[in-house]
Structure 1
Amino acid sequence: MAREVWFVLPPRFMLLDFAGPAEAMRIATEFGADFQLHYAACDVQTSCSLGLPLGGLQPLPVQLPDDSLIIIPGADCSAEAYALPEARRIVGWLNSCFDPQRHVLATICSAALLAGMAGLLAHRQCTTHHSLITRLQDSDNSASVLENRVFVQDGAVWTSAGITAGIDLALQLISQLASPAITREVAREMVVYFRRSGQDVQLSPWLAHRNHLHPAVHKVQDLIAASPEQDWSLSALAGQVHVSVRHLSRLFREHAGVSVHDYHLALRAARASQWRTAGLSKEKAALAAGFSSARQWQRVQAAAKVS
């Protein structure tokens, strides 16, 4: 029997929060996942964050079959959106229909707040978009809100950071509810090269130390990021941007706030983590990322935690 997947759309829902996971689930059915997709809201028509109307929606079901999966995308301007009557109805519906012994709930971005309002995060680990962490903590003091996580599972309740993290969450759900093989096909079809795990941070190391305007430093960062496994020497990098080694070191620390060496190691560690998530052993992941061994990778990780 097909597993029913209910996308429940709150007012002003974020279009990418909905479309990314919905496409992942739809593509999964093309590769053999036994999912039956439904799209529901409080009214037959609602509008998304871009102002586009979406019609032909089903009403919130009075009862949910066993093993149903509920996915709720976040909303734009959630403080206002979740004060609307439609959002309150979704909270009441969750209270009356969701049973953690029989169903699975996945919230994306700010939708974790709706789960919190329904009392479903009590004494659970959870997360949300990094800008909403404090609001989620304030909504239920008993919840253990984890910062800077892509997604978190605690029993039958999944929460995620939202936006593109909703796709990572959907792929993980497909892996658990269908199969890892189908998930690989979906990721390939969606051109998701590396799937992030629940342990990955929201704020990508690939974007860290880029909040500056110096073109030479950005070019060096682009070179390292394109191939972190390469043994970049300071002289080779300096030659690419036509400055001396000493001048590059000074520019990099001044504008990026970190040394070239430490920046390079951080991206190697990120690449090794990606290869590990892709299924390589620790040793092979470390070697593929340019480390001499898994032990060297672990030392870099340990040093990063201390700093």
Structure 2
Amino acid sequence: MRPTHVVFVLVPRLHLLDLAGPAQVFSTAKDFGYGYDVSYVAESDEVVTAQGVPLRTQSVWPELDPGDLIVVPGWRSPRLSPESPIGPEFRQRLRTHHARGGTVASVCSGADALGWAGLLDGRRFTTHHDLTDELAARYPRATMVRDVLYVEDDRVITSAGIASGIDLALHLVAVGRGAEAAARVAREMVVYARRNGDELQESAMLRHRGHLSDLAHRVQDVIDARYADKLPLAELAGEVGVSERTLTRIFTTATGLTPLRYQQLLRVERAEHLIGHGSTVESAARTVGFENPRMLRRLRSRTSV
């Protein structure tokens, strides 16, 4: 299968972490064999970051397919310029890629570039809290969503800025390559992440990965990969070579959940994703491993999910 190509558009005075965070996610996913290629384009041969680090890049775009991704990191902007941060050719690149079925994302003030390209009109979006009022006024045909880490609307994905670019990238890896892949990347990056986005308000997979128990992480790896399967406690205990009692004690201490409850949260989150993309409750319930859709309805109604 052809790898997903992720292209970062570099704007002068961009924030290093707006770029480096999501770039690290996708490059780590590539190292693990999950099928990503990463490249960088700019309108000049050298871009100086807000932190003073010069970056050498190219202005020639790679060939992109609908399954590929363009990301515009944010730049230092106490107030946004009245002029577009990218020229007409790059704006057209963003529009064309989206029109062909591709995904376009931004970090922080990168949403302004998407707005200049006309991709925010009629859609919900977010940005860094310092810029929400300004961008809401600049793009009145769009709907600003405040106090979230990222928002996804019709393949236009915007994030709050700085470290939230990591949450955005992990979300995209989870959707594209599965929960296990995203958890593995997050663990490699030593990330304690809370994916508070538009579609998945909190990710159990990452919210309960901030502990230091290797045994609990190994059990979570198994559950992440096989959350739709029946996973008896005895089978999980055998996977890590401990008794059921020891597994339950260590897992609950580390995550605050029993293994079953953790699996249920993963199932519900995946079901919510499917329902949000047009699946019926019954179909989503079967896909994620619930034998009876009533169980999914009951778990969805819990405010703790």
TM-score bracket relative to the smaller structure: 0.5 to 0.7
Shift of 1:194: 3.7
Instruction: Note the 1:138-177 alignment, pairs <5 A.
Output: 138-177=137-176
Shift of 1:90: 6.3
Q: TM-score, normalised by structure 1?
A: 0.62
What is the distance in 2 between the residues matched to 1:33 and 1:62? 20
Give the structure 1 partner of residue 77 of structure 2.
Answer: 77
2:156 maps to amino acid: V
Q: Pick closer, same or farther for the CA change 1:105–1:197 going to 2, 3 Å.
A: same
Q: Pick closer, same or farther for the CA change 1:117–1:195 going to 2, 3 Å.
A: same
* Larger of the two Rg values belongs to structure: 1
Secondary structure, counterpart of 1:131 in structure 2 = coil
What is the distance in 2 between the residues matched to 1:62 and 1:78? 32
Q: Would you say the 8 A contact 1:82–1:114 is kept in 2?
A: no
What is the distance in 2 between the residues matched to 1:170 and 1:155? 17
Q: Pick closer, same or farther for the CA change 1:281–1:103 going to 2, 3 Å.
A: closer
Give the structure 2 partner of residue 182 of structure 1.
Answer: 181
Q: For each residue in 1:69-95, what CA deviation from the matched residue of structure 2 results, as whole angstroms up to 9, or x when unmatched?
A: 0011000026466737x6234653345
**How many residues in Structure 1 have an aligned counterpart in Structure 2?**
216
What is the distance in 1 between the residues matched to 2:73 and 2:262? 26
| Pair 1:26-2:27 in alignment | yes
1:18 maps to amino acid: L
What is the distance in 1 between the residues matched to 2:152 and 2:41? 24
| Pair 1:120-2:119 in alignment | yes
Q: Pick closer, same or farther for the CA change 1:83–1:8 going to 2, 3 Å.
A: same
Secondary structure, counterpart of 1:99 in structure 2 = helix
What is the distance in 1 between the residues matched to 2:166 and 2:89? 23
1:42 maps to amino acid: E
What is the distance in 2 between the residues matched to 1:156 and 1:298? 28
Secondary structure, counterpart of 1:43 in structure 2 = coil
2:18 maps to amino acid: D
2:71 maps to amino acid: I
Instruction: Note the 1:1-307 alignment, pairs <5 A.
Output: 1-55=2-56, 57-61=57-61, 64-77=64-77, 79=79, 83=83, 87-89=86-88, 92-94=91-93, 97-199=96-198, 200=201, 281=265, 298=303
What is the distance in 2 between the residues matched to 1:141 and 1:22? 31
What is the distance in 2 between the residues matched to 1:194 and 1:96? 31
| % identity of equivalent residues | 33
Shift of 1:165: 0.5
Secondary structure, counterpart of 1:37 in structure 2 = strand
What is the distance in 1 between the residues matched to 2:76 and 2:183? 31
Q: TM-score, normalised by structure 2?
A: 0.63
| 5+ long unaligned stretches in structure 1 | 202-270, 283-293, 302-307
What is the distance in 2 between the residues matched to 1:3 and 1:298? 35
Q: Would you say the 8 A contact 2:7–2:70 is kept in 1?
A: yes
Q: Would you say the 8 A contact 1:38–1:58 is kept in 2?
A: no
What is the distance in 2 between the residues matched to 1:120 and 1:108? 14
Q: Pick closer, same or farther for the CA change 1:51–1:279 going to 2, 3 Å.
A: farther
Shift of 1:142: 1.4
Q: Would you say the 8 A contact 2:91–2:116 is kept in 1?
A: no
What is the distance in 2 between the residues matched to 1:140 and 1:13? 22
Q: Would you say the 8 A contact 1:91–1:117 is kept in 2?
A: no
Q: Would you say the 8 A contact 1:42–1:90 is kept in 2?
A: no
Give the structure 2 partner of residue 305 of structure 1.
Answer: none
Shift of 1:31: 1.5
Shift of 1:102: 2.0
Q: For each residue in 1:203-232, what CA deviation from the matched residue of structure 2 results, as whole angstroms up to 9, or x when unmatched?
A: xxxxxxxxxxxxxxxxxxxxxxxxxxxxxx
Secondary structure, counterpart of 2:26 in structure 1 = helix
Q: Would you say the 8 A contact 1:150–1:196 is kept in 2?
A: yes
Q: Would you say the 8 A contact 2:69–2:105 is kept in 1?
A: yes
What is the distance in 1 between the residues matched to 2:99 and 2:263? 30
